[in-house]
Structure 1
């Protein structure tokens, strides 16, 4: 990935030295900054109330990080419920090590994996509220061309493992983003019928039941596979559509 750049190169890949009005070369960047600038970044952006989606997200990051030249970055979306309401619902505290993402930070990614629990077959309100806040990016189509996928959590087997992803596709369509389902690329694991397993061709998934059921190993394995699959997809797009540093101002194909 010598000249870096995804299908829509991130701003931090080719930082501009404003005083010299030229791209900063790798010799101007030292240590871990130079290493990070070489990698494509997939933002794993999620909302998790009781921790089920968070566990899938962490395993998904492992899959992304397993592909050379790509790294996964975990982010949460802002909570919309009041602290006293969360306390009454017995929601565990959020993990401080995972930052809350801002709308502008979305522009720094080369691809996305969005995760959320279902609410009546659609995404949770917290994730919808975050998408609703991206209007300024939508108006200028700042995310157009970026690949994105979904992973979900439902309380029951008929609770929306597929419909939650279906109804979320509209968010990507309006932004001009590229929806990347996993299909049946996981192979035999997608056809097993000997156990209860979340997930579908639309993305990884888990069943939470009454909240006490934790994601199973087959569900986590599918999440890891989705991370790898998305990382390989982003890498292929970057190799095909990569732009030289002096053309970094163009974010679309």
Structure 2
């Protein structure tokens, strides 16, 4: 893809193997990806239609006090951190699974993995040489977000901002917005880019608007990873906004330090949620 969008997936790798979370800059592939796929249009139109009906029916949306009748930590059992991601080539998924391990390492908290719906057709995905999805990880719908005590969203970059699949998912949360169901809920981000200047920070930064409109609490990791955030001896994705991975030309796998940063973010988010419960 162009400016920071990504690089060419390796043609030497099989479709079911891990390549990268950025689209192929091949003009033919780009034409297919950027075309108005009927399936994508239908999904987005339905989301807009549902949100419009919600706005018309709810002329007097509830206040935050009404929406927060079940405060964070009110559920029995463990606190739940939802790790909601979109991964086209597997890099974001690798971080997500490692992040779940970090969340699970904190007593009283568990991580739950979810995929957002795909909006590209099977034909387009095949042309883009995207591997098959991990069917063991369920697809989430917007309404399910309310059950989480905290959420970490993961997605690849498209020109320095989130991929369309994740944006379509956020666009489907209109009813939750009118009812303020996500207000006060802590959330964070982790990303994948094809190059060092491809959006490790801007992809998360531009996504903050989604949280702001919902009244959610953005939880960056800052420099809590310690010395690992300052080393210059190897290429490393991630930033104070959240964990990250460089996909490179498709042959590069997430490094040990990138995976460690994702695990750290899971632990950090879990600790923050526990702290909020105690307040």
Same fold (TM over 0.5): yes
Name the residue aligned to 1:148: 187
Q: Distance in 1 between matches of 2:97 and 2:179?
A: 32
Aligned Cα root-mean-square deviation (Å): 1.2
- The reply on whether 1:92 has 2:156 as its aligned counterpart is no
Query: Paired residues, what number?
Result: 211
Q: Distance in 2 between matches of 1:135 and 1:188?
A: 41
Name the residue aligned to 1:178: 217
Q: Distance in 2 between matches of 1:6 and 1:96?
A: 31
- The reply on whether 1:43 has 2:82 as its aligned counterpart is yes
Deviation at 1:210, TM superposition (A): 1.8
Q: Deviations over 1:109-139 (max 9, x none)?
A: 0000000000000000000000000000001
Name the residue aligned to 1:123: 162
- The reply on whether 1:213 has 2:252 as its aligned counterpart is yes
Deviation at 1:9, TM superposition (A): 4.6
Q: What SS does the corresponding residue of 1:38 show, helix, strand or coil?
A: coil
Deviation at 1:212, TM superposition (A): 1.8
Q: What SS does the corresponding residue of 2:207 show, helix, strand or coil?
A: helix
Q: Distance in 2 between matches of 1:6 and 1:198?
A: 37
Q: Deviations over 1:147-168 (max 9, x none)?
A: 0000000000000000001100
Name the residue aligned to 1:75: 114
Counterpart pick for 1:138 among 177, 192, 214: 177
Deviation at 1:7, TM superposition (A): 4.7
Name the residue aligned to 1:17: none
- The reply on whether 1:8 has 2:47 as its aligned counterpart is no
Moved over 2 A (4+): 5-10
Deviation at 1:6, TM superposition (A): 8.3
The TM-score, its normalising length taken from structure 2, stands at 0.74
Deviation at 1:8, TM superposition (A): 2.8
Structure 2 spans left out of the alignment, 5+ residues: 1-68
